Structure 1
Amino acid sequence: MAVRDWDLRHFRLLAALAARGSIGAAARETGMAQPNASRLLEQMEASAGFALARRTPRGTELTDRGRVVAGLAAEVLEAADSVTRAVDALERDRGTLHVCASMTVAEHLMPQWLAAAQQRLPGMSVTLDVGNSDEVFQRLRSGAADLGFVEGPTVQTGFRYLDVARDELVVIVRPDHPWADDGDVPPSEVAAAGLVVREPGSGTRQTADLALAPYGAGPRFEVGSNAALAASVAAGLGPGVVSRLAVQLALRSGRLSEAPTPGLRLSRVLRAVWSAAAPLPRSAEDFLGIVTHGS
C-alpha cells in the first residue's frame, strides 16, 4: 500500500489517536476492534516509511512527524464533511423542502407563502415545523430543517440570514382595563405591570424583554403561544405583549384593546435563516424568492 491509497479510515484513526492518546480509545471512536486498529496503524507506518506513533506506559502518543500528518488528516476529514453536507443539500434539491418557522410567522405569514409556492413551484413538497425562535435554530443546526424563519432581535452564530418582513409588538388589554382609555402609557408602568408574555426562547419574548429592560421588571405570566396569550389577556389575567399580526382581528372586533406606548421600541425584523455550513438547497432559494418578491 502507498500513502496515496490511504482512505478515510486511515485518516479517522490518525485523528482519533491524536485526540485520545490511546490506540484502544482511538479504535472505539472509529468503530474498530483494537487489533484491527493496530494493524491499520502499522500499514500506515510501513507505507509512510517512518513511525507515526510510539507506545508508552501511558498509552500511545504521536511522533513529531505523526503530529504533522495528523494535522493534515484533520484537514482531509473536514473537506470530506463539507462534501457530505453539499451532497445532502443537493439531494434535498429534488423538490422537497423542510421549513421551520417561529409561531408568529407560521400562523400569520406562512399560509400565504405556502399557497404561492403551490401555484408557482408545482411539484415541490414542503414540510413545515413550528417552534419558537430558539427551536428554529436548534432544528437548523441538527439538519432537521433546510430553512427557518425567526422573529427574535438577534441571529445565532453560524447562520446566514435575510430580512423578509417587519413586525410590531403591541401592548394589549381588555376593553375595560384602565389603559384602554388613559392615553399614552409610560414604559415604566408597562414594565412594572404583571404582564402576560411568551415563553423564554420566543422571539416575541426576546424583543419585549429588550424593550422593557431599561425600565425594570414586574411579575410575568408565561404562556406558550400567541393564542394562549390573547385568551389570557381577554380573561383578565393582565396586560400582554404580543405581535400585532397575532391580534389584529381581536383588535378590530373590539375583543381586545391596544394600549398606546410610544415610549417603547417594539418594532422588529422577521428573518429567514439557514446554516452557514452548507449551501442553501435550490428549493429553499426558490421559496425565498416567493417570500421576498410576493406571490
Structure 2
Amino acid sequence: MRATLHQLKIFQQVAELLNHSAAANKLNLTQPAVSIQIKQLENNLGLSLFEKIGKKIFLTSAGRELNHFCNDIFSRIDHMDMKLSAMKGQLEGEFLLAAVTSAKYFTPHLLGAFHKLHPKVSLHLEVANRSQTIQLLKKNEVDLVIMGMVPENMRLKRYPITENPIVIIANPSHPLALQRNIPCSELAKHTFIMRENGSGTRKGFENFLLSQNIKLTPSMILGSSETIKQAVIADLGISVLSRHSVALELATKCLVELDVQDFPLMRCWYVVHHETKQLSPAAIAFIDFILYQKETVDNLCNRFLETHFVAQ
C-alpha cells in the first residue's frame, strides 16, 4: 500500500476542517506531525492533495477523490467492527441519526428505548430542517433520517413510524378559537405565520392549499417551530405545525388547536435511507425496532398527544 490507515485518517480530518492546526487538535497530534504525514502521503501517491490560495487550503481534484474513498473505507471499517461485535452477541459502534425539527419531540424517546436494547451503541442525533436533512442524505453523512415529506426525486427507501397530524394553532383568545367546523377559506382572512421555505410542514400545507384552490399569503415567516409557537402565544397570528411540535403548549392551554374543516392533515413520519446504502448493523437494528415493536413505538411517539379545542 502507498498509504497507511493512519495517514488516511489524518488526511480525512484535514480534508474535513481544511486546517492543519484544527485537525491536529482534533486528533491530539502536533501540527508539524500532521503536516509531515500529509506530505509523506502526497509523496507516496505522487499527487498533490491540497492547494493553498492566500491563507486558506483547499482540496485538489485528487484530494476530493481520495476523501470520497476515505469516507467509504472508514465507514466499512466501522460496519466491520459492528458486525464482529454483533457476532459476539453485543451490538457496538456508532449510530448517526438525523431528524427534521418537528420530529425532535419524539425522536429522543425512540433513541432512549433503542439504547436500552443496545446500551453499547454510541448514539448521535442531528436535528435540522428538511432541506438540510436532504443534503445529509445526498452526502451520505448519516445512517438514517427521520422525516415527514420524503423527496420523490431521490432513490430512497422509507419505513413508516407513526402518524403525523398537521394542525392549525392559535392563541386561546383568538376569534376562531371558539368556532367549530371552520371553512379552510376562512384562514386566508386572518394573520398567518408560516415556517421558512424548506420546511416539510410548510410544503405539505401549501400542497393542501393548492389542491383546495385557496390562496393564503403569510404575514410573517419565521425560521423555527419554537419561534412560531412563541409568536402564536403572543397572539401575533395563527399558524400550522405538526401536533407533535405543540403537544406541551396544547396540554398547558398556552395554545389551542382550531377546529378547521379537513384538519388535521394526516401525514406520516418515516425512517429513510438511500436504496443502495449499506446499512450498519445498528441502523438495521433501529429499523427492526421501528417495524417490529410497533405498539411501543406508537406509545413513545404519541403519549403526549391530545386534541385541545377551547370549550364554548
TM-score computed with the length of structure 2 as normaliser: 0.63
Question: Is the alpha carbon distance of 1:148 and 1:260 closer, same or farther for their aligned partners in structure 2, counting shifts above 3 Å?
Answer: same
Find out whether 1:139 has 2:132 as its counterpart: no
Find out whether 1:88 has 2:75 as its counterpart: yes
- The match for 1:231 is 230
| C-alpha distance in structure 2 between counterparts of 1:150 and 1:234, whole Å | 26
Structure index of larger Rg: 1
How much does 1:153 deviate? 5.8
CA contact (8 A) 1:104 1:243 kept: yes
Output aligned runs, 1:1-295, within 5 Å: 85=72, 88-89=75-76, 91-92=78-79, 94=82, 95-106=93-104, 108-152=105-149, 154-213=151-210, 214-264=213-263, 266-292=265-291, 293=293, 294=296
How much does 1:90 deviate? 5.7
Residue 126 of structure 2 aligns to which amino acid in structure 1?
Answer: D
CA contact (8 A) 1:97 1:125 kept: yes
| C-alpha distance in structure 2 between counterparts of 1:256 and 1:135, whole Å | 28
Deviations 1:146-176 (A, max 9, x none): 1101112644412211111111111111111
SS, match of residue 215 in structure 1: coil
RMSD over equivalenced CA pairs, Å? 2.6
How many residue pairs get aligned? The number is: 218
Identity %: 25
CA contact (8 A) 2:167 2:263 kept: no
Deviations 1:170-200 (A, max 9, x none): 1111111110012222111214533112211
Question: Is the alpha carbon distance of 1:264 and 1:118 closer, same or farther for their aligned partners in structure 2, counting shifts above 3 Å?
Answer: closer
Question: Is the alpha carbon distance of 1:103 and 1:202 closer, same or farther for their aligned partners in structure 2, counting shifts above 3 Å?
Answer: same
CA contact (8 A) 1:151 1:271 kept: yes
CA contact (8 A) 1:116 1:290 kept: no
CA contact (8 A) 1:92 1:281 kept: yes
Unaligned residue ranges in structure 2 (runs of 5+)? 1-44, 49-67, 83-92, 298-312
SS, match of residue 288 in structure 1: helix
CA contact (8 A) 2:166 2:263 kept: no
SS, match of residue 246 in structure 2: helix
- Bigger mean CA deviation after superposition, 111-120 or 184-193: 184-193
| C-alpha distance in structure 1 between counterparts of 2:96 and 2:201, whole Å | 23
SS, match of residue 242 in structure 1: strand
CA contact (8 A) 1:198 1:205 kept: yes
Q: Which contiguous aligned blocks of 4+ residues in structure 1 show a shift greater than 6 angstroms?
A: none
Residue 289 of structure 1 aligns to which amino acid in structure 2?
Answer: D
